[in-house]
Amino acid sequence: MASGIVNIRRDVEDKFYRYRMPLLTTKIEGKGNGIKTVIPNMSDVARALSRPPTYTTKFFGCELGAQTTFDEKNDRYIVNGAHDANRLRELLDVFIEKFVLCKSCKNPETELVILKNGRQENIIRDCKACGERTDVDMRHKLTTFIVKNPPVKIKKGKNKNTGDAAGGVGGGGTPDPTGDSADSPDAGAESDDELTRKIKAEAAELNSETALAKEDWSADTSPEAVKERIKALEGSMAAAVLGGDDDGSDDDANSPYAQLGRWVEENRDDDSKAYSIAIYKKAEELGIEKKHKSVTVLVQALFTSNIVAEIPKYAALLTKMVTSEKHQKALLGGIERFVGFAHPDLVSAVPKILMAFYQVDLLEEDIITQWGTHVSKKYVDKDTSKKVRKASEPFLKWLQEADDDDDEDDE
């Protein structure tokens, strides 16, 4: 995991965990009775959690018995007294547990809602991931502050994240201008009818001797093996009906995606062809070879700082796995995480990386152009998303100029 970025749930060690936030930092100012702890990146941390920074700062004050000061205009959040950064990080974990994570699925994609029942007011966490509504402990002092300073109402179609944890780092509930938000039907599990059709279609394909004969990878084509593959496929598709790529169960160290990522990193082989076949078979074994999230994980785990030279070596593997527009968007999301989190020193190389994927026909021009002109918080935080897209501008310009030249030739 890149320095300065941690999982929102710090008990989850999976580095492919979808929800991330900046590591909380502190700065001690003043002396004697005037000593205070300034939290320079409180806004960034709170944005990742999609909670107002005043909530997190006030929570620290409640827990530490200290006064707090907010200067939202100048982005300064202060807790009186000298407080260790590690202690505040531990308290932030408590805040996340009490006021962010869904009690049911432990997913941070929740929105705080204040319900009034006569004179009594209650705060609930409305989970966008599993649909559960779970109560906040109203005995905590922070609840009084929240009731007096309610989260801003999220307007439909507006890209606000003040009270919705889905809008944080790597979250997905905020509308994605690319049309691929985690809330949208395109981003999560597909309908039962669509999945049923896919099960039948894939089973028919696997039953077909012609299809097996055309298989690029070595495979056992005996009737018994074919039946086993059909059974595995139906099982994985049935699981998708219950959850899908973005189901909360994917976000732990034992998820099939985390297992694939670790396997790829731990079984590196200089023989790129044999390595590619082994990776695909591992994805098949885990039942995720057709999932778009697998592509995101592969980009993060497969490539090193020499990514531009490595892309052609693994083009066959990725071509087999990138089979739709959604897969291409997932690949671009993987690039964002690769350069944004793991290799920030490669941000300037984004145009070369995009060109390498484009030249092996893994990314289409329209998809790249749409991605490059629309900031999204689906895979990384907003600032990282902007940074990566800003770096891509030379390649986007080249695409545009190539289009213009083609138009002139047609005329």
Across the range 190-196, mean pLDDT stands at: 47
Please, which pLDDT band fits residue 13 given cuts at 50, 70 and 90?
confident
pLDDT band at 190 (very low <50, low <70, confident <90, very high): very low
Alpha-carbon span 201 to 189, nearest angstrom:
18
pTM > 0.75: yes or no: no
Q: Note whether 295 and 51 are within 8 A (CB).
A: no
Cβ–Cβ under 8 Å, residues 50 and 162: yes
| Fold for the domain defined by 250-410 | 1.25.40
Contacts of 241 (CB under 8 A, 6+ apart): 189, 192, 195
Give the model's pLDDT for residue 45: 94
Q: What percent of the chain has pLDDT over 70?
A: 73
Q: Which CATH fold topology does 20-167 show?
A: Defensin A-like (3.30.30)
| pLDDT above 80 for 167 | no
Distance spanning both ends of the chain, measured CA to CA: 51
**pLDDT band of 278, cuts 50, 70, 90:** very high
Q: What is the mean pLDDT of residues 208-235?
A: 49
Contact assessment for residue 49 and residue 56, using Cβ atoms and an 8 Å cutoff: yes
Residue 55 burial (CB count, 10 A): 21
Q: Which residue blocks in 107-247 are alpha helix, DSSP H?
A: 142-148, 192-207, 209-213, 223-242
Calculate the average pLDDT of the chain.
79
Query: What angle (nearest 5°) sits at the alpha carbon of residue 98, between those of residues 25 and 21?
Result: 35
Side chain identity at 403, as an amino acid letter? D
Position 346, amino acid: L
Judged by DSSP in three states, 80 sits in strand
Asked if residue 101 lies in contact with residue 50, where contact means CB atoms within 8 angstroms, the answer is: no
Separation between Cα atoms, residue 95 and residue 181, nearest integer Å: 26
Q: Which residue has the higher pLDDT, 276 or 185?
A: 276
Indicate the Cα dihedral angle 202, 206, 212, 216, nearest 10°: 40
Give residue 337's pLDDT. Answer: 92
Beta strands in 96-228 (DSSP E): 110-117, 120-127, 133-135
Confidence of residue 12 (pLDDT cuts 50, 70, 90): confident
Rounded to an integer, the average pLDDT of 157-172 is 42
Give 141-160 pLDDT, tens digit per residue: 999 999 999 987 655 444 44
Query: Apex CA 52: angle with CA 51 and CA 56, to 5°?
Result: 80
Q: Where are the domains of the chain?
A: 20-167, 190-242, 250-410
| Spatial distance between the Cα atoms of 396 and 350, rounded to a whole number of angstroms | 11
The answer, yes or no, to whether residue 233 has pLDDT greater than 70, is no
**Three-point CA angle 266, 272, 275, nearest 5°:** 45
Question: Which pair of structure tokens corresponds to residue 358?
Answer: 């484009």
